[in-house]
C-alpha cells in the first residue's frame, strides 16, 4: 500500500476520491442537522396560523411546540442501542422516514390531536438524527478535520432554523400546512444520501465485519493511513470486546463516569444558559423590549437571531480544529455572560423608565445583546458541545452514552422552553436573564475544571486519556499537545 500521500501537516484529504466520500458524509450530516433545525424553528412561524385554524388555547399551543422536544428525548434514549445493534445508517434512514412521515401527518392534520401526534413523530426523527448524525460523522471523519465535519452538523441546525424563519416570514401564517410539508423535501434527500454513504467502519469492526470495515475505511482514509487506522480501531474494539457487551450499568460505571459527567454536563449547560428560550421566544423578547410592530419583531428575529446564528457558526467550523475545543467554549461563555448581563440590565432599566424613550434604548441594548449572545453561543457551546459528546466516550458504550447525553440535552431544552415564560412572569425579564448569566459562570467553571481538550487526538487516544485518570492534566503526561 502506498504511503507517499500521508503528510500529516496537510489539512484536507488530498486524494479526490477520499475528498468526495468525506464530502458525501458531510452532506448527510448536513441534511440531518438541517431537518433538526427546521423542525425546531418552523413552529415560531406556524403557531399563529394553527391557533387560528383550530381555535386552540395556550395549553394546546404549548403541547404543539414542545412535543417535538419530547419525541426527541424519547428517541434519543433508544437511538444509541438501535445504532449499536443495526448500524448507524439504518437509524439515519429511520430518521429520514420519520421526518417525512411527521411532515405529512402535520400537514394534513384535521385537528390538534393529530397535529400533536405529527409533532411527536417528527420529534422521534429529530432525536434519532441528533444522536446518530454527529456520532456517524465523528466515526467516519478523518481525525484532523473531525471537529470541522462534526460542526458542519451544527451549521446545518442553524441553517435549518434560519430557513424556517425565512419560510415563516415569506408564507402567511395561514399556510402553516405548507411550512410543515416542506420538511419532507430534505427528508427525501437525507434518505438518498444515506443510501450512498458507507456504514461506519468502527461499527463494522465492532460487529466483527473487518472486511467491510476496511472497505469503508478505505473510502475516507488516505491509502497510507488505512492499516494504522484499522489496527488502532481493531485494538480498541478487541480490548473492549474482551469485557463483553456494554450494559446501561456500565455507562454509569466509575470507568465511564468522568466522561459521562463531561458529556451530560456540557449538554445541560448548553441549554440552561438560555439558547432555546431565545430561539423560540425571540419575538416576544423583542416585543417586551419595545419593538412594537409584529413586522419589526420578525425582522429582528430573522436577522439578529437566525442569520447571526448561521454566520457565527462558520467561525467554529473554521477554528475548532485549530484553536481547540476548550478556548472556544471558554471564550463563548464569557461573551454569553456579558451579553446576558447587558440584556438583564437593559430590562432592569426599563422597569424604572416608563417612557417610550426608555423602551427604545432597551430595544437597542436587547438587540445588540442578543446578537452578541447568539454569536457567542454559535461559535462555542452550539457546535463544540456536540463535537465533544461525539468523541469522548469509549467505543463500547459510545452509542448508549451519546444517547444519554443527548437525552439530557433534550430534557433540559424541554424544561427551559416550558418554563421560560412562567419564569419571566414570576421573577421578571431582568432576573431571568441574570439567572441565565449566572449559569454561564457555572458553565465556565465546569469547562475550566473538567473538560479535556480533544483537538488533534484520535478517538482511541481520547480513550487512553480517560484510562490514565481522565484529568485535564493527563494530556500533558501522555503526550504533548499538537
- DSSP string of 56-74? --HHHHHHHHHHHHHHHHH
| 470 φ/ψ sector (left φ>0, alpha ψ -120 to 50, else beta) | left
Phi-psi region of 13 (alpha: psi -120 to 50; beta: other; left: phi over 0): beta
Rounded Cα–Cα distance for residues 94 and 100 (Å): 10
Q: At its nearest, how many Å lie between ligand BGC and the CB of residue 5? A: 35
- DSSP state at residue 123: H
Q: Residue 32 Cβ, how far from ligand BGC at the closest point, in Å?
A: 13
Give whichever of 282 and 413 is closer to ligand BGC, judged by the CB atom.
413
Among the listed residues 61, 147, 52, 89, the one whose alpha carbon sits nearest the alpha carbon of residue 458? 147
Asked if residue 366 lies in contact with residue 207, where contact means CB atoms within 8 angstroms, the answer is: no
* Smallest separation (angstroms) from ligand BGC to the CB of 418: 14
Long-range contacts of 221-226 (CB under 8 A, 24+ apart): 221/18, 221/142, 222/5, 222/6, 222/13, 222/14, 222/15, 222/18, 222/142, 223/1, 223/2, 223/3, 223/5, 223/15, 224/1, 224/2, 224/3, 224/4, 224/5, 224/6, 225/6, 226/1
Shortest distance in whole angstroms from residue 410 CB to ligand BGC: 8
> CB 313 → ligand BGC: shortest distance, Å?
7
- Rounded to the nearest whole angstrom, what is the least distance from the CB of residue 383 to ligand BGC in the complex? 7
Task: Give 44 or 201: the residue with its C-beta nearer to ligand BGC.
Answer: 44
Taking Cα atoms as reference points, which of 446, 194, 174 lies closest to residue 330?
446
Nearer to ligand BGC, 204 or 410 (CB): 410
Least distance CB 400 / ligand BGC (angstroms)? 19
Residue 80 or 87 having the CB closest to ligand BGC: 80
- Report the alpha-carbon distance of residue 179 to residue 56 in Å, rounded: 19
Shortest separation between residue 36's beta carbon and ligand BGC, angstroms: 8
**Closer of 158 and 201 to ligand BGC (Cβ):** 158
Between 298 and 409, CB nearer to ligand BGC: 409
DSSP output for 137-204:
HHHHS-GGGHHHHHHHHHHHHHHHHHHHHHHHHHS-GGGHHHHHHTTHHHHHHHHHHHHHSPPPHHHH
Q: Which residues bind ligand BGC (CB under 6 A)?
A: 40, 154, 157-158, 161, 270, 275-276, 279, 309, 382, 386, 409, 413
In the bound complex, what is the minimum distance in angstroms from residue 173's beta carbon to ligand BGC? Answer: 21
Q: Taking the complex as a whole, how short is the minimal distance between the CB of residue 79 and ligand BGC, in angstroms?
A: 15
Nearer to ligand BGC, 64 or 413 (CB): 413
- Report how far Cα 347 is from the mean position of its chain's Cα atoms: 30
Largest CA distance in the chain: 76
Closer by beta carbon to ligand BGC, 386 or else 404: 386
User: Which of 25, 117, 132 is CA-nearest to residue 82?
Assistant: 132
d(C-alpha 143, C-alpha 387), whole Å: 12
Question: Is residue 313 left, alpha or beta, with left meaning phi > 0 and alpha meaning psi from -120 to 50?
Answer: alpha
- Residue with Cβ nearer ligand BGC (154 or 458): 154
Q: Could you tell me if 199 and 89 are in contact, meaning their C-beta atoms sit under 8 angstroms apart?
A: yes
Q: Which is nearer to ligand BGC, 203 or 280 (CB)?
A: 280
Amino acid at each position: 500500500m502506498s504511503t507517499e500521500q500521508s503528510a500529516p501537516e496537510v489539512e484536507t484529504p488530498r486524494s479526490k476520491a477520499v475528498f468526495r466520500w468525506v464530502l458525501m458524509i458531510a452532506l448527510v450530516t448536513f441534511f440531518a442537522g438541517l431537518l433538526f433545525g427546521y423542525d425546531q424553528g418552523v413552529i415560531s412561524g406556524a403557531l399563529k396560523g394553527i391557533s387560528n385554524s383550530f381555535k386552540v388555547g395556550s395549553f394546546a399551543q404549548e403541547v404543539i411546540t414542545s412535543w417535538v422536544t419530547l419525541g426527541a428525548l424519547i428517541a434519543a434514549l433508544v437511538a444509541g442501542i438501535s445504532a449499536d445493534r443495526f448500524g448507524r445508517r439504518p437509524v439515519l434512514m429511520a430518521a429520514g422516514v420519520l421526518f417525512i412521515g411527521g411532515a405529512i401527518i402535520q400537514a394534513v392534520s384535521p385537528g390538534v390531536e393529530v397535529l400533536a401526534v405529527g409533532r411527536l413523530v417528527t420529534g422521534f426523527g429529530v432525536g434519532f438524527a441528533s444522536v446518530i448524525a454527529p456520532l456517524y460523522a465523528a466515526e467516519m471523519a478523518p481525525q484532523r478535520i473531525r471537529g470541522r465535519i462534526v460542526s458542519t452538523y451544527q451549521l446545518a441546525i442553524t441553517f435549518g432554523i434560519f430557513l424556517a424563519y425565512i419560510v415563516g416570514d415569506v408564507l402567511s401564517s395561514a399556510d402553516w400546512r405548507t411550512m410543515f410539508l416542506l420538511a419532507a423535501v430534505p427528508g427525501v434527500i437525507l434518505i438518498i444520501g444515506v443510501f450512498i454513504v458507507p456504514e461506519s467502519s468502527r461499527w463494522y469492526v465492532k460487529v466483527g465485519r473487518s472486511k467491510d470495515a476496511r472497505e469503508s475505511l478505505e473510502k475516507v482514509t488516505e491509502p497510507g493511513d488505512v492499516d494504522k487506522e484499522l489496527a488502532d480501531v481493531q485494538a480498541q474494539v478487541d480490548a473492549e470486546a474482551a469485557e463483553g457487551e456494554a450494559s446501561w450499568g456500565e455507562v454509569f460505571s466509575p470507568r465511564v463516569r468522568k466522561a459521562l459527567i463531561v458529556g451530560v454536563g456540557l449538554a445541560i449547560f448548553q441549554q440552561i444558559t438560555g439558547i432555546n428560550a431565545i430561539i423560540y421566544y425571540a419575538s416576544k423578547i423583542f416585543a417586551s423590549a419595545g419593538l412594537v410592530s409584529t413586522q419589526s419583531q420578525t425582522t429582528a428575529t430573522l436577522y439578529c437571531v437566525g442569520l447571526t446564528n448561521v454566520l457565527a457558526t462558520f467561525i467554529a467550523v473554521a477554528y475548532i480544529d485549530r484553536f481547540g475545543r476548550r478556548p472556544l467554549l471558554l471564550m463563548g461563555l464569557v461573551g454569553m455572560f456579558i451579553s446576558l448581563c447587558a440584556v438583564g440590565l437593559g430590562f432592569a432599566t426599563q422597569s424604572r423608565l416608563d417612557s417610550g424613550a426608555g423602551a427604545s434604548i432597551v430595544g437597542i441594548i436587547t438587540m445588540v445583546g442578543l446578537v452578541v449572545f447568539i454569536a457567542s453561543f454559535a461559535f462555542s457551546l452550539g457546535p463544540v458541545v456536540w463535537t465533544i459528546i461525539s468523541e469522548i466516550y469509549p467505543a463500547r458504550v459510545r452509542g448508549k452514552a451519546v444517547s444519554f447525553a443527548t437525552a439530557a440535552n433534550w430534557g433540559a431544552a424541554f424544561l427551559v422552553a416550558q418554563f421560560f415564560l412562567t419564569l419571566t412572569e414570576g421573577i421578571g425579564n431582568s432576573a431571568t436573564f441574570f439567572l441565565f448569566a449566572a449559569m454561564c459562570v457555572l458553565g465556565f467553571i465546569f469547562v475550566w475544571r473538567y473538560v479535556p481538550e480533544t483537538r488533534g487526538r484520535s478517538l482511541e487516544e481520547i480513550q487512553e486519556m480517560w484510562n490514565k485518570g481522565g484529568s485535564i492534566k493527563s494530556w500533558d503526561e501522555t503526550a504533548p499537545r499538537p
